[in-house]
Amino acid sequence: MPALQREVARLLGVREPVEKRVYIETYGCQMNEYDTERILRLLKGSHYLETKDAQEADFILINTCSVREKPEHKVYSALGRFKWLKEKRGAIIGVAGCVAQQEGDRLLDRVPYLDMVIGTHAIPMLPQLLQKIEFFGQRVCETGFDPEGNYLKTILPQKPLDKVKSYVTIMQGCDHFCSYCIVPYVRGREKSRSSREIIEEVEHLAEMGVKEVCLLGQNVNGYGKGLEEEIRFPGLLHRINEIEGLHRIRFTTSHPADLSGELIQAFSKLPKLCEHIHLPFQSGSDRILKAMHRGYTKESYLEKIDCLKKACPSIALTADVIVGFPGEEEKDFEETLDLLKKVRFDDLFSFKYSQRKGTRAAQFMDKVEEKVKQDRLSILQEIQKGITLQKNQELEGRVEEVLVEGRSKQSDQDVTGRTRSNKIVNFEGNLELLGKLVYVRIKKACPHSLRGEITSAQDPSICNLRSAIYNM
Ligand code: SAM
Ligand code: SF4
């Protein structure tokens, strides 16, 4: 509270609100990280400031993900860890996100010291729910879906904003209903934010010094469906590309079945759109893709990759893949490996199939043994490791445009940043370079990053130079 306001409040006998601390533990994808940021901004209005130390928190929130593995177990074990803080300090304890959405009241029943369960659409209600707990000692569970999409609204961040890049959610939910996936059940159906709200948020971030945005959605290609305005995802990208001060645009995730020619062309037309696409294929076997309800074949996926490479030869490709889906036989797995070798992804996120309660695949009979899944995963990861290193080695000797993001974790003398193709580069430099685009010559390729040497700093205002990779 500013001094004058504080003095007036004192004279009027108004007590200053007590500042409290919130600690949030976040699991899962970028969507959850973004939700955590939104929650923190929202709670600032209720005088809760973030702490990184759970022991000093008045409110502990576990923001959960239930896409894979055993998310409920993870939540119960985290709750067990925080129980003593409830007993010692009377901290309020809550669970948010996908597990909260899925489990609802069951969580409150099973954990007597849990105060709050808050579903994916209920984030805007958080301050009121906290009040119910603080003032009336109620335990609360809010897991309704909100067809109006109010849960997508966000409070714009205030200065100081000490980051160079930021996520911006453009849509949530999914209408695809892949047979293995829990997302449509815990995030609801596809819902887009209006382009006006998104543009305002990106403009605001750019004014605050953010140089790169990553547009988030479970299926960004579905953007615009159901909105009153006539706009689709490529149109939104064109508008964001015009925003002054912003250097780079990324997005995730695209569904291959919905990847339009217009979006592919955007990579060759929009200078700020980085040359990288994350395009999950899940399996290389048409039989498995059908059982997964993915809506494309191996051939049509490869055709799209071909179009992307033609439109933008320097494009970096990453993807998700699942091994051990029910019914996957050795020959199906071979098809997956074949796809991997044909595309030569820059990087790959590979998962063992994990049964999700309530999905269609959970009822499929021919489950694959755990050991087989693990063996297939290891084989696939070994092959990909070789490809990723080769792709990185292809960059040795080249000069890359790098956006400097901060100090390197490996050395105090080094800074770190990413190429337009999203590869991590570490090189000697100081923090004056933070937020700047610089040219870095790649000296050495490592399995997960690149080592380089700065050749020149570029005036950030001339970011339209589309010089992702070139030989100097
Ligand atoms: N919407 C994106 C798409 O369709 O590609 C992916 C979103 S999903 C949250 C992220 C990744 O988790 C998926 O691409 C898939 O590979 C993986 N995934 C989802 N459900 C899974 C399951 N039941 N078992 C293993 N992996 C799963
Ligand atoms: Fe899940 Fe499929 Fe939707 Fe992706 S497209 S979020 S995998 S249902």
Rounded distance from Cα 178 to ligand 2 centre (Å)? 6
Task: Tell me the ligand closest to 68's alpha carbon.
Answer: 1
Q: What is the pLDDT of residue 153?
A: 85
* pTM beyond 0.85, yes or no: yes
Q: Which of 169, 181, 278, 321 to mutate to test the pocket of ligand 2 (most atoms within 8 A of CB)?
A: 181
Counting as low any pLDDT under 70, the low residues of the chain are 1-17, 160, 457-472
Rounded distance from Cα 286 to ligand 1 centre (Å)? 17
User: Does residue 354's CB lie within 6 angstroms of at least one atom of ligand 1?
Assistant: yes
Rounded distance from Cα 304 to ligand 2 centre (Å)? 19
Residues contacting ligand 2 via CB (< 6 Å):
174, 176-178, 181, 183-184, 218-219, 255
Rounded distance from Cα 218 to ligand 2 centre (Å)? 7
Rounded distance from Cα 181 to ligand 1 centre (Å)? 6
Q: Which of 67, 221, 255 to mutate to test the pocket of ligand 2 (most atoms within 8 A of CB)?
A: 255
Three-state SS string across the chain, please? Answer: CCHHHHHHHHHCCCCCCCCEEEEEEECCCHHHHHHHHHHHHHHHCCCEEECCCHHHCCEEEEEECCCCCCHHHHHHHHHHHHHHHHHHHCCEEEEEEHHHHHHCHHHHHHCCCCCEEECCCCHHHHHHHHHHHHHHCCCEEECCCCCCCHHHCCCCCCCCCCCCEEEEECEECCCCCCCCCCHHHHHCCCEECCHHHHHHHHHHHHHCCCCEEEEECCCHHHCCCCCCCCCCHHHHHHHHHCCCCCCEEEEECCCHHHCCHHHHHHHHHCCCECCEEECCCECCCHHHHHHHCCCCCHHHHHHHHHHHHHHCCCCEEEEEEEECCCCCCHHHHHHHHHHHHHHCCCEEEEEECCCCCCCHHHHCCCCCCHHHHHHHHHHHHHHHHHHHHHHHHCCCCCEEEEEEEEECCCCCCEEEEEECCCCEEEEECCHHHCCCEEEEEEEEECCCCEEEEEEEEECHHHCCCCCCEECC
Q: What is the pLDDT of residue 160?
A: 62
User: Does residue 218's CB lie within 6 angstroms of at least one atom of ligand 1?
Assistant: yes
Q: What is the pLDDT of residue 28?
A: 85
Relative to the CA of 359, which ligand 1 atom is closest?
Answer: 23
Q: Which residue's CA is the closest to the ligand 1 atom numbered 14?
A: 320
Q: What is the pLDDT of residue 472?
A: 34
User: Does residue 219's CB lie within 6 angstroms of at least one atom of ligand 1?
Assistant: yes
Rounded distance from Cα 472 to ligand 1 centre (Å)? 40
